[in-house]
Amino acid sequence: MKASKLKVGDTIGVIAPASPPKPEPLKNALSFLEELGLDIKLGKSVHKKYGYLAGYDQERIEDIHMMFKDSDVKAIICACGGFGTGRIASRLDYNLIGKNPKIFWGYSDITFLHTAIHQQTGIVTFHGPMLSSDIGLSDVHNLTRKSFEQLFHAKDIEYTNKLSPLETVVEGKASGPVIGGNLTLLVSTLGTPFELDTKGKILFIEDIDEKPYKVDRMMNQLKMAGIFHDASGIIVGDFKNCVPEKHEQSLTLDEVLKEHISDAGIPVLKGFHIGHSSPSIAIPLGSMGRMNTYNQTFIVETGIREDENK
């Protein structure tokens, strides 16, 4: 299911389903949304703190339910990631969410909710730059800001070498729904009711601040769980600061990635500015994608419907 496109005057729900956002960048980002002609409704937990969480679990759950239930809210944008979405996934009302399909946008720790919502309801969600952690920064890249345009215009997203240098890891062509997100969060779904299902799908992975040996461990777990074997293709996004300490004996990140995914025998492209990167390009998760390593292209169908929302 795809939500309707946005139009000027629509109301956006802003929530913090994981950690609390930084106030000043959030303020800057809310101004950006207003510049797009959107009205804003803040979740109750956005300004709350409970340790490393934006309020108690029940408060963050209530914000998600409230935003999906509110017919005036046409899109739900996450303020930031951090930690905590895995704690609330099993307590969400997916029947309520499925009956009220709307744009749901975020990444990083939000990956757990992307996976859970799409697999439980079939709703297409958006892996895209967030408010306080991306849009509200003083040095935000213009392409990061432009990613929000795909919510207003039903156009396919085409990623080529014009956006960043792409590298073929395993040659081939693949198609299927695009799923995935942050590697750490994808691994955390294994063994749960929301375990990542990659059968016939293009898997996207990215991460930040994980040393190669930790990436190695997580990639090995996905491989042993059959996650790579089941996928039709793999897209590798940005792995920001995933490097060993200086003078530390280590495999390189490239060596780790190639060793684990090359064995799957499916097409693999890497080098995408998707995830913890600048620019950070948004993509719809659940939409049909096509990848071609021979001309190094990745095309994803629009994540919204062209008809006006109601």
pLDDT over 90 at 35, yes or no:
yes
> In the listed set 99, 134, 155, which residue is the last one of a domain according to the structure?
155
Tokens encoding 254 = 């490239």
Kindly state the percentage of the chain with pLDDT values over 90. Answer: 95
Q: Does residue 151 surpass a pLDDT of 50? A: yes
157-168 average pLDDT score: 95
Residue 280's CATH number = 3.50.30.60
229 and 142 in a common domain: no
Element (H, E) at 257: helix 253-261
Whether 151 and 220 share a structural domain: no
The domain spanning residue 95 has which CATH number?
3.40.50.10740
The predicted structure's pLDDT at residue 98: 97
Q: Confidence class of residue 163 from pLDDT cuts 50, 70 and 90? A: very high
The predicted pLDDT at position 310 comes to 42
Identify whether 307 is part of a domain: no
Average pLDDT over residues 121-149: 96
| 111/169 same-domain check | no
Same structural domain, 10 and 143? yes
Summarize the confidence of residues 212-223 as an average pLDDT. 96
Q: What is the mean pLDDT of residues 203-225?
A: 96
User: Of 136, 155, 174, which residue is a domain's last?
Assistant: 155
Q: One of 19, 114, 188, 206 is an active-site residue; which one?
A: 206
Judge whether 4 counts as a catalytic residue.
no
Parallel/antiparallel/unpaired status of strands 103-106 and 125-127: parallel
How much is the pTM? 0.95
Percent of the chain with pLDDT over 70: 99
Whether residue 185 sits in one domain with residue 123:
no
Which of 4, 19, 108, 133 is an active site residue? 108
Say how far apart CA 237 and CA 280 lie, in whole Å: 10
Domain that holds residue 174: 157-300
Residue 270's pLDDT is 96
The mean per-residue pLDDT over the stretch 255-270 comes to: 92
pLDDT at 23 over 80: yes
Query: Do 235 and 185 lie in a common domain?
Result: yes
Contact 85, 63 (CB under 8 A): no
Stretch 85-105: mean pLDDT: 98
Higher pLDDT, 185 or 261: 185
Amino acid at residue number 131: L
Kindly state whether residue 308 falls inside one of the protein's structural domains: no
d(CA 107, CA 131): 11
Question: Is 116 in the same domain as 73?
Answer: yes
- pLDDT value of residue 31: 97
Catalytic: which of 188, 260, 276, 280?
Answer: 276
Q: Indicate the pLDDT class of residue 262, thresholds 50, 70 and 90.
A: confident
| Cβ atoms of 206 and 108 closer than 8 Å | no
Whether residues 24 and 58 fall in one domain? yes
CA–CA separation, 155 and 105 (whole Å): 17
Q: Quick one: DSSP state of residue 176?
A: E
φ/ψ of 287, rounded to 5, equals -75, 155
Active site residue 108: yes
Using alpha carbons only, what angle is made at residue 17 by residues 177 and 24, rounded to the nearest 5 degrees? 115
Average pLDDT over residues 78-83: 97
Residue 29 located in a structural domain? yes
Region 203-212: what's the mean pLDDT? 96
Burial 126-144 (b: 16+ CB within 10 A, else e): bbbbbbbbbbbbeebbeeb
Question: In the structure, what pLDDT confidence band is assigned to residue 125 with cuts at 50, 70 and 90?
Answer: very high
Domain count, the chain: 2
**Given a cut of 70, is residue 308 above it in pLDDT?**
no
Rounded average pLDDT over 74-94: 98
| Mean pLDDT, rounded, for 176-180 | 98
Contact 268, 233 (CB under 8 A): yes
Distance of CA 149 to the CA centre of its chain: 16
Are the C-beta atoms of residues 218 and 252 closer than 8 Å to each other?
no
Q: How far is CA 194 from CA 37, 112, 183, 263, in A?
A: 36, 8, 15, 25
Rounded mean pLDDT, 168-176: 97
Same structural domain, 142 and 184? no
> Are both 226 and 97 inside the same structural domain?
no
**Cα–Cα dist 75/177, whole Å:** 21
Query: Cα separations (Å) of 9 from 33, 43, 51, 78, 208?
Result: 11, 19, 36, 19, 35
pLDDT-derived band at 247 (thresholds 50, 70, 90) equals: confident
The answer on 47 and 134 residing in a single domain is yes
Mean per-residue pLDDT, 99-116: 98
Average pLDDT score over residue span 229-242:
95
